Amino acid sequence: MPEYRAHFDFDIRFANGGGLAGTGFRLDLPSADATEDAIGRLLVRHLGLALVDEVELRGLRIVEEPHRGSRGVVPDASAAAPSTKPRVVDLSHPIRAGLVTYPGLPAPTITPHLTREDSRARYAPGTEFAMDILTMVGNTGTYLDSPFHRYAEGPDLAGLELASLVGLRAEVFHLEDAWTPERRGIRPETLADRDVRGAAVLLHTGWDRWFGRPEYGSRAPYLTGEGAQWLIDAGAALVGIDSLNIDDTEAGGERPAHTLLLGAGVHVVEHLTNLGGLPARGARFTAAPPAVEGFGTFPVRAFAEVPA
C-alpha cells in the first residue's frame, strides 16, 4: 500500500504564551486525504507539545513517500492482508569467493574438500555429495560483533543469549536524507524521538548501494560516540547499520561507538542491506551467528519479519 507524508512550514502558538516555528518539515500521514486541521493535530502529537492554542501550516503539500516513523500515526489495520504470516525481508549481503567487504581485509575463498565426481566412488550409485572449505575473516558480509570483538573479557559468540538476537522489536531510522558528505555522523538528536528500550535500532543510511564497489570504502556515514551513548542510556539492545562501519574509520584509530556499545553489552551488526524495505516500526529483527567459542565476530543471516 502507498504511504504519504506532508511537507510544510509551520507556526505554533501556545495558550500560555510563546511559540514555535519550523520550515521544511515532513510528517507521516495515515492517508492521502488528511485535512489541514488533522495534520496540525498530528504535528502537535508528534512533537509532544502541551497547551497549544493555534497551529498554522504554510505551503502544505501531500506527497506519496515512505513513512519515516512520525509519532501518532498508526498503520491502518484494515489495509492488512488477510493472511497472518509475516513478510520476511532479507537484510544480509550474500557471501561469495573474492568478496571485498572491508578494504584491506582478506576476501573469502571457497575450495572443494570433496567434489561430486570424487564422491561417486564412496557412495551407492546415484548418490553424490559436495563438501567445500570456506576460508574467511569473521568480518565478512553482514556480520555481528560480540563484546569479545573489542574486549578480551567480554562474551564471545558462544556466550551470547539467543533471546538478545532473535525476534527483537525493530526501530528503523530512515536517514538517507539526514546526513551529508560534510556531516556524516549520526547524532543523538536524530534518534531522540523514539522509545528504543529493548529494541534493535537499525540505521538506514542508504550506503549499502555501494557495497562491493570501491566507493563503499570511503566517506561513509557512521554513528557518533554521543549517539552510541544516547542509545545505551535509552536501553537499546542492538544497533545495526547498512554502512561500512558503525564508527568513522577515517578519524584515526579511535572507535568510540564500538567501545561504548560493546562495553555496555549492546550487539553491533554492520553491513546490513535492504533496510529501505522495512517500516519505521512494527518489524521483528533477527541476527544470530553460530556459537563459536573464542571468536568475536561472524557473518549472520539477518532478517526482519514484517506483519502482513
Q: Is there a single domain that holds both residue 164 and residue 54?
A: no
Q: Per the domain annotation, does 150 fall within a domain?
A: yes
Q: Is there a single domain that holds both residue 149 and residue 8?
A: no
Q: Per the domain annotation, does 16 fall within a domain?
A: yes
Q: What is the dihedral of CA 204, 209, 214, 216, to 10 degrees?
A: 0
| Number of domains within the chain | 2
Q: Is there a single domain that holds both residue 195 and residue 282?
A: yes
Write the CB contacts of 169 (distance below 8 Å, at least 6 apart in sequence).
Answer: 198, 199, 200, 284, 285
Instruction: Identify the pLDDT of residue 81.
Output: 47
Instruction: Identify the pLDDT of residue 173.
Output: 94
Given 31, 59, 74, the domain boundary residue is 74
Q: Is there a single domain that holds both residue 153 and residue 295?
A: yes
Q: Per the domain annotation, does 154 fall within a domain?
A: yes
Q: Is there a single domain that holds both residue 69 and residue 147?
A: no
Q: Is there a single domain that holds both residue 23 and residue 147?
A: no
Residue 205 burial (C-beta neighbours within 10 Å; 0-12, 13-18, 19+) = buried
- Please provide the distance, in angstroms rounded to a whole number, between the alpha carbons at the two ends of the chain: 11
Q: Is there a single domain that holds both residue 179 and residue 260?
A: yes
* CATH code of 256's domain: 3.50.30.50
Instruction: Identify the pLDDT of residue 82.
Output: 52
Separation of alpha carbons 197 and 71, rounded Å: 16
Domain that holds residue 17: 4-74
Q: Per the domain annotation, does 258 fall within a domain?
A: yes
Q: Is there a single domain that holds both residue 152 and residue 289?
A: yes
Q: Is there a single domain that holds both residue 63 and residue 150?
A: no
User: Which pTM was predicted?
Assistant: 0.81
Instruction: Identify the pLDDT of residue 78.
Output: 43
Q: Is there a single domain that holds both residue 152 and residue 261?
A: yes
Instruction: Identify the pLDDT of residue 83.
Output: 58
Q: Is there a single domain that holds both residue 191 and residue 298?
A: yes
Instruction: Identify the pLDDT of residue 226.
Output: 96
Q: Is there a single domain that holds both residue 70 and residue 189?
A: no
List, run by run, the mean pLDDT of 10-residue segments along the chain (308 residues).
Answer: 92 88 93 91 87 89 89 56 80 97 96 96 96 98 98 97 97 91 92 92 97 96 97 97 97 95 98 96 96 97 95
Residue 232: what residue type? I
Q: Per the domain annotation, does 105 fall within a domain?
A: no
Separation of alpha carbons 36 and 6, rounded Å: 10
Q: Per the domain annotation, does 100 fall within a domain?
A: no
Separation of alpha carbons 306 and 169, rounded Å: 10
Q: How many of the other CB atoms lie within 10 Å of CB of 306? A: 15
Given 74, 96, 126, the domain boundary residue is 74
DSSP state at residue 197: T
Q: Per the domain annotation, does 177 fall within a domain?
A: yes
Q: Per the domain annotation, does 104 fall within a domain?
A: no
Given 54, 74, 94, the domain boundary residue is 74
Write the CB contacts of 246 (distance below 8 Å, at least 6 apart in sequence).
Answer: 222, 223, 228, 239, 257, 258, 261, 268, 270
Q: In what order do the strands lie in the sheet with 4-14?
A: 19-29, 4-14, 52-64
